[in-house]
Structure formats: structure tokens, C-alpha cells
Amino acid sequence: MPSLYLPPGFKSRPATLNDVEAAVALFNTADREFLAPGAPGEHEVHETRGEWTEPGFDLDTDTVVVLDGNGDLVAYQEAFTVPPHVRAIIWGRVHPDQRGHGLGSALLAWGEGRAREMVGRAPEGAAVDAQAWVDAANADAAHLIAGAGFKRSRYFWDMEITQTKSPAEQLWPDGLELRPFDRQEHHRAAHDAIRESFMDHWGFADADPEESFERADHHLSANPNYDPKYFHVLWDGDEVAAVSLCYPNAGNDPRKGLVGVLGVRKAWRKRGLGLAILLHSFRVFWKNDIPIVTLGVDADSLTGATRLYEKAGMHVERTFATYEKRLRDGKDLRNRG
């Protein structure tokens, strides 16, 4: 385990599942200055618990929490990889009242140290990067990360629409149909279609399909917002053509729905299916009294996703910057466009 050097008056230990509510409260408090006034905070207990119990994630080695003299949780850091382990995610938060003590720089150094410990998990000869991201409005965090040798590699957008009326009912090309989602029968096929759809997205690195599906299925089980009526899978016979997997109560806001993932397989592109299934998703949210819809997208999407979402009436609500640092040189297995 890497060393963590904290200023006097603070102590650290790995996170436990008993910390999840305090940790989520910390995350939302730390982010609040970058959210709209009155926003409830986008981090959810179920989401964090799902991440902490994901296959391959080890709370004992991949996390650290910082406690003040009263035993209150005031900072958090994690560093982890997922197959094929060519990217190590470094992510953390410090309570606003505890900034200025050096906790952020100490935790970032710990995160990079942990990431370097995991380099050997990647395939032999593969390049490995550490990746961190911050709200683009958070100049202090960006300065901290850049000062540690990370370079900005990408911007991502949260896009949003507030609907004032229901979209028209969509008409599907002959032979294509939406079917009620049955998790046991359809989830694997939908997941495989998503995997294929995202192979030409920036940063994609292919992994073992079984491991990938295991993680996806775990997160679905951990998500109390899962409702099959918001999972839209467009079929062409026994093959999946397009998917839009959505969730209500996005960011703890009952007025807001999330398009968690939207993809069209290559053989079915250039037929307007992406826009059609997106508008269908909007329509289902509207019918269930959810007027606001949000999603995340690469600001320089290689597949033109931003143009699609703008065509559907969505606008940029929030911007995130991604920073990377090369930990090991080698063949880059991630899609760089």
C-alpha cells in the first residue's frame, strides 16, 4: 500500500460499507458549489454502495478515508482499475471546510501510488494511464491535478432537456420492434449490443465479455431506480439493433430522468434509430411525470453523439475535464480516434 502523509490532527483508514452514507454526504457537500442552487446533490447511496461492492473493487486496498479529530469523515480517495486494467481511475473529495490543509495533494499522491501498484494487472506490453476528472468550473482541483503532472485529455458534457410537451410517438422501420424488457432474457443481449456500440468511442478498451457483463449485472442489482419500463431495446428479429437504458430519479431528483446509456449497433446506423429511441425515451419519461432528462457525453464524440442530442433539443448543463498521466509506456489499447 502507498504511504499517506497527512497534516497533524487527521488520521486515515480504508473505507468500510458502514461509511457509505457519510461518504455520499461528503461527496454532495463538496460538489454543491458547482451545482444549481437547491440541487440535492448527484451522488446516491445505492450508487456508491454498488461501486464499493463491484467485482474486483477492494475497499481495503482501493480506498482511504480521512477523519478529523472528532472522528468525522472529511475526505475520501479511491484508485481502481477494471479489465483490461489499462486505465486507473483516481477520484476523491475533500470537505470544503477542510480545504487548505494539504489533504487534496496528499490524497492525490496516494491515489497515484495505488495506481502504480496496479500497473502489472494490464496485459504485457500495454500502455497504462492514470485518469482523473473534475468539474471544469473547479479551478483549484484542476490546478492541483495539473501540478501533479496530469494533462487534460478530454472534455465531457452533462446535457439536459426540460420537456414542455410529449414527443411524438416513434415509428420504427419495418421489421424492427420494441419489446417489453425482461432482465433474465434480454439483459445479456442488450449489454453485448452496448459493448459493440461503444467500441468506436474515445477511450474504449475491450475486456472479457463475461467480466464486463458481471459488473453491469451487479450494478443493475444494486440500483433501486431500475425499472424495466425505462429499458428500451429495439429488436430486429433475434438481434438487438439499438438500446436506451434509462433510470428515473436521476441525481436524487424525482423530476429528472437519466439516459444511462444509448447505443446503436453499426449494422443499423444511418437510419435515424439513435434519435428515434432517444425521443421514445423522452416520451416514456413524460408519460411518467418526469419532464427533465439528462445524460453524459464526450464533448468531442467520435460518433457525432453531441449533434444527435442537440437535434433532440438538449443543451449543455455542465462540463467536466478529464486528465491523464502515463504510468507505463507501451501499446495503447484504448481507442484514441
Instruction: Give pLDDT tens digits along the chain (337 positions).
Output: 799 999 999 999 999 999 999 999 999 999 998 888 888 888 999 999 999 999 999 999 999 999 999 999 999 999 999 999 999 999 999 999 999 999 999 999 999 999 999 999 999 999 999 999 999 999 999 999 999 999 999 999 999 999 999 999 999 999 999 999 999 999 999 999 999 999 999 999 999 999 999 999 999 999 999 999 999 999 999 999 999 999 999 988 999 999 999 999 999 999 999 999 999 999 999 999 999 999 999 999 988 899 999 999 999 999 999 999 999 999 999 999 8
**Among candidate residues 122, 147, 180, the one where a domain is terminated:** 122
For residue 285, what is the enclosing H or E element?
helix 273-287
Q: Is residue 199 part of a domain?
A: yes
Residue 166 shares a structural domain with residue 306: yes
pLDDT of res. 37: 83
**Among candidate residues 94, 122, 150, the one where a domain is terminated:** 122
CATH number of residue 65's parent domain: 3.40.630.30
Residue 168 shares a structural domain with residue 116: no
Reference 181, options 249, 227, 248; nearest CA is 227
Q: Is residue 305 part of a domain?
A: yes
**DSSP letter, residue 126:** B
Residue 69 shares a structural domain with residue 166: no
**Among candidate residues 98, 122, 146, the one where a domain is terminated:** 122
Please provide the size of the chain in residues: 337
Residue 224 shares a structural domain with residue 106: no
Partner residues linked to 331 by β-bridges: 126
Q: Is residue 137 part of a domain?
A: no
Residue 55 shares a structural domain with residue 176: no
For residues 290 and 41, give the distance between their C-alpha atoms in angstroms, rounded to a whole number. 18
Q: Is residue 151 part of a domain?
A: no
Residue 315 shares a structural domain with residue 170: yes
Q: What is the pTM of this model?
A: 0.94
Residue 118 shares a structural domain with residue 188: no
Residue 100 shares a structural domain with residue 249: no
Residue 205 shares a structural domain with residue 267: yes
Q: How many structural domains compose the chain?
A: 2
Please name the residue ranges forming H helices in 98-197: 103-117, 139-147, 183-197
Structural domain boundaries, residue 94: 11-122
Residue 191 shares a structural domain with residue 306: yes
Half-sphere exposure of 304 (CA within 13 A, CB side): 9
pLDDT of res. 337: 84
Residue 176 shares a structural domain with residue 108: no
- DSSP reduced 3-state for 20: helix
Reference 257, options 232, 279, 277, 230; nearest CA is 230
Q: Is residue 201 part of a domain?
A: yes
Q: Is residue 45 part of a domain?
A: yes
Residue 181 shares a structural domain with residue 309: yes
Q: Is residue 329 part of a domain?
A: no
Q: Is residue 24 part of a domain?
A: yes
